Copies of this chain bind each other. A is one copy, B any other.
Amino acid sequence: MTISNSNSPIARREALQDRLEQLTRMVEIRAVEERIQKLFAEGHVRGSTHLANGQEAVSVGIARSIDPDDIVTCTYRGHGHALALGVTPAAVLGEICGRVIGCAGGLGGSMHLVEPSVGLLPTAAIIGAGLPIACGAAMAARARGNDRIAVSIFGDGSANIGAFHESLNFAAIRKLPVVFVCENNLYGEYTRIQLSTPVEDIAVRAGSYNMPSDIVDGQDSDKVAEAMAKAVARARRGEGPTLVEMKTYRYSGHSRSDPATYRPAGELDAWLKRDPIDILANRLVGENVLAEGGLDKLKADVRDAVEAATAEVLESPGPALDEIMSHVGAYSAGGDQRWNFWSK
């Protein structure tokens, strides 16, 4: 369990090839989300924050299926994805608490996580914004003669916005190496998908673009990884984009203060019975990777690590006042500090 303690996003990402680490990371995501909830109550978090507990298998299943070189765009509901991709708990928690230690130095907040070294572009707070950006990243990869791909992660509700349609069409006609991942957690904010979307499966929309699609059990990280591997391979072969729909569920409300009273009785309980952490843990016991009952120990260890990261965060200062003006344009930045995706 030492792997999780690495502070290098790249090392954390590479570690995900390890079976146990896959489980550990899902447990870590859950623990971080729970800690954020608490930090919110303790007054350390401003604005809003969008937890993704229940959706950990999607995050880890994606992250283990793509290279650190590949580019990822995702939404404000991005804590889990960021952690899975390799961003450290301290960098995630730090950003959410507005500290220098945060991945955007406390300037961005919960909706704007970023880590170029593992391909994570700043997560966007505007619905649909990440999809065309992923298309552009894919264009760049192709122009560089490189087999990198781009992944864009968004929700079921986001499949009703114009950018979804334009992006899928654009990627299809240009055969771009993009994987569009729709996390269908059945709700967009407080609205159940049936009330906003006249089809049950977002995946059917791929037909409008002559694009292959897949519908995946998003609670099973192995199934997620399997579907991703297929779509990623297709993209790398230059055959174009795929729309992959992950059927999943968020245990919490939409954002911090939402008690999610709009959910029908019993729905949450049914999903809890298929908890992604339990599903993988049971399988790992079968695989002899995890000892019977080892999950509890794992959880405790991870919780300790997250607690330590939290302590580190709470000791970290906020950004200096002159950070306000330091990253507006090249003129304000004191020289070019840009990340070069192609230097590796």
Contacts and interface: CB of A to CB of B under 8 A. Distances in A.
Given A162-B162, A166-B162, A204 B208 contact: yes
Q: Which of A163, A198, A207 has the most CB of B within 10 A?
A: A198
Interface string A105-140: 000000000000000000000000000000000000
Nearest to A207: B207
A45 B37 CA distance: 65
Interface string A68-109: 000000000000000000000000000000000000000000
A6 interface: no
A234 interface: no
Interface residues of A, number: 22
Interface in A182-205: 195-199, 204-205
Interface in A137-173: 160-166, 169, 172-173
A210 interface: yes
A161 B132 CA distance: 13
A199 B209 contact: yes
Nearest to A162: B162
A191 to B, nearest CB: 11
A151 B152 CA distance: 35
A211 interface: yes
A160 B172 CA distance: 12
A228 B209 CA distance: 26
A161 B163 CA distance: 8
A210 B165 CA distance: 16
A196 B195 CA distance: 31
Contacts of A198: 169, 172-173, 209-211
A162 B161 CA distance: 7
A196 B197 CA distance: 26
A196 to B, nearest CB: 6
Contact of A160 (B164, B169, B197, B210): B169
Q: Which of A162, A173, A204 has the most CB of B within 10 A?
A: A162
A74 B267 CA distance: 45
Contacts of A164: 165
A240 to B, nearest CB: 9
A311 B185 CA distance: 64
30 contacts: A160-B166, A160-B169, A161-B162, A161-B165, A161-B166, A162-B163, A162-B165, A162-B166, A164-B165, A165-B165, A165-B166, A169-B196, A169-B197, A169-B198, A172-B198, A173-B195, A173-B196, A173-B198, A198-B209, A198-B210, A198-B211, A199-B207, A199-B209, A199-B210, A204-B207, A204-B208, A205-B208, A207-B207, A207-B208, A208-B208
Given A162-B163, A162-B166, A198-B211, 4 more contacts: A198-B210, A199-B210, A204-B207, A207-B208
- Closest 9 A-B residue pairs measured CB to CB? A162-B162, A165-B165, A198-B210, A205-B208, A172-B198, A208-B208, A160-B169, A199-B210, A198-B209
